[in-house]
């Protein structure tokens, strides 16, 4: 938990409430106020934090 400065400024809106952020660690942070979305992303192995956008790992390009 930490290293907020690690996240790049590269973001992309996938859906009206879904935003995708690229990080140097090839990780994604999930920030959503929707409990159902948060619960689902936790199952996928994504991190949840606070309220706001949903950062979806599934749409992240695997390189």
The domain locations on the chain are 4-48
> For residue 37, what pLDDT is reported?
67
Rg of the chain, C-alpha, whole Å: 11
> For residue 36, what pLDDT is reported?
72
56 vs 53: CA distance, rounded Å:
9
Strands (E), 1-63: 11-15, 18-21, 29-30, 47-48
What are the mean pLDDT values of the chain's consecutive 10-residue runs (63 residues total)?
Answer: 45 50 54 67 55 45 49
> For residue 35, what pLDDT is reported?
73
> For residue 21, what pLDDT is reported?
53
């Amino acid at each position: 938990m930490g290293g907020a400065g690690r996240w790049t400024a590269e973001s992309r809106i996938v859906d009206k409430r879904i935003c995708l952020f690229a990080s140097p660690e090839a990780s994604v942070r999930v920030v959503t106020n929707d409990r159902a979305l948060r619960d689902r992303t936790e199952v996928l192995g994504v991190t949840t934090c606070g309220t706001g956008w949903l950062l979806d790992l599934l749409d992240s390009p695997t390189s």
